[in-house]
Amino acid sequence: MTAVRLLGLDPGLRFTGWGILEADGNRLRHLADGVIATDSAMSVPDRLCALHQALSALIESFKPDEAAVEETYVNRNGTATLKLGYARGVALLVPALAGLPVAEYGAKHVKLSVVGTGGADKEQVAMMVRRLLPGATLKRADASDALAVAICHAHHRATNNAWMKGKVMA
Amino acid sequence: MTAVRLLGLDPGLRFTGWGILEADGNRLRHLADGVIATDSAMSVPDRLCALHQALSALIESFKPDEAAVEETYVNRNGTATLKLGYARGVALLVPALAGLPVAEYGAKHVKLSVVGTGGADKEQVAMMVRRLLPGATLKRADASDALAVAICHAHHRATNNAWMKGKVMA
């Protein structure tokens, strides 16, 4: 089995966490992580453009083979959910435009896969991400969830092809 | 004042209505309208790609000067709102990537501007769109709201520049 390069994304209009790892069977290797921030003083269309351009540049630089996007739940209000939807739409679109298969995983499913319990908190996720990916410094906390969804995808892609059929793993 | 070409969009993941008109001061002229449908059997990333490509082709063909997007309210549930958000995100992104100024108008505001009351129903909006744009056949009902938001923008752009600052007219 040859190594595949996976891009994990935890999208948001304000901050989109990203992480890239290489999976070679069960062996995972951290390559890079970070956060794309958009300026809340800019209009929403301009912020979506900025997100689009940053994601396109990431994909061009790191040339990942597959992408995985976290499906976060929001129970605040319609406007907040709609705005999260804009960012997720762009996060799903850009890798697909680049020809990458894109998998989606629910937040609980990511936690279950990485920590072993769907109710894990952010610190537990970050701790397990550091343990599974020794190189990850996680200077920026938002990148932790992005690496977690990439790890979750690395586990699933080896054993399960449901994601290939566009099914969200909730 | 020279004529400007306006693209109106009423986005949705299943159906995105679009309409193009030319505004020359107070005079409006219908150019084209239609609906972009995406296949619900496809994965969400592939549907967003299809929407992106159809919108890009529209902009390339008709070369509009400005775009206006309807902000629909959804009170169903989080998942439905999130999916609407994906489509709206792409509808805001594609014209912005093409360098067009993009205005957003709330559904009530569009109705108020086109029919004279924020509580107008779909038939009243379609009737007024036909009256204001004699060439519009509106064979596809979804295109009516897209032309309505373009008309709303034509009214506003002449008198108000708030939309230029990225403000949503609710």
Q: What's the pLDDT tens digit per position in A72-92?
A: 776 667 888 889 999 999 999
Q: Which chain B positions have a beta carbon within 8 Å of A45's beta carbon? A: 92-93, 95-96, 102, 166
Give the residues across from B6 on adjacent strands: B21, B66
Does B137 have pLDDT greater than 70?
yes
Stretch A31-55: mean pLDDT:
96
Put simply, the answer to whether B89 touches A166 (Cβ < 8 Å) is: no
Predicted-complex ipTM score: 0.87
**Contact residues for B57 (Cβ-Cβ < 8 A; gap 6+):** none
Give the pLDDT score at B17. 95
CA angle A143, A149, A152 (to 5 degrees): 140
Domain at B4-166: CATH architecture = 2-Layer Sandwich (3.30)
Q: What's the pLDDT tens digit per position in B33-67?
A: 999 999 999 999 999 999 999 999 999 999 999 99
Put simply, the answer to whether B88 touches A82 (Cβ < 8 Å) is: yes
Contact pairs from chain A to chain B, CB under 8 Å: 103
Put simply, the answer to whether A166 touches B75 (Cβ < 8 Å) is: no
Q: Which of A48, A81, A166 sits opposite B82 (nearest CB)?
A: A81
Q: B113: left (phi > 0), else alpha (psi -120 to 50), else beta?
A: alpha
Helices (H), chain B: 44-62, 78-97, 107-114, 122-132, 142-159
Does A65 have pLDDT greater than 80?
yes
Minimal C-alpha gap between A75 and chain B (Å)? 7
pTM value is 0.90
Give the residues across from B19 on adjacent strands: B8, B33
Put simply, the answer to whether B84 touches A82 (Cβ < 8 Å) is: yes
CA distance A78 to B85: 10
Q: What's the pLDDT tens digit per position in B89-133?
A: 999 999 999 999 999 999 999 999 999 988 888 889 999 999 999
Active-site residue B70, yes or no?
Answer: yes
**Contact residues for B150 (Cβ-Cβ < 8 A; gap 6+):** B6, B7, B8, B19, B20, B21, B68
Q: Does A52 touch chain B (CB under 8 A)?
A: yes
**Contact residues for A147 (Cβ-Cβ < 8 A; gap 6+):** A8, A19, A21, A30, A33, A129, A133, A136, A138
Does B149 have pLDDT greater than 60?
yes
Structural domain boundaries of chain A?
Answer: 4-166
Contact A105, A70 (CB under 8 A): yes
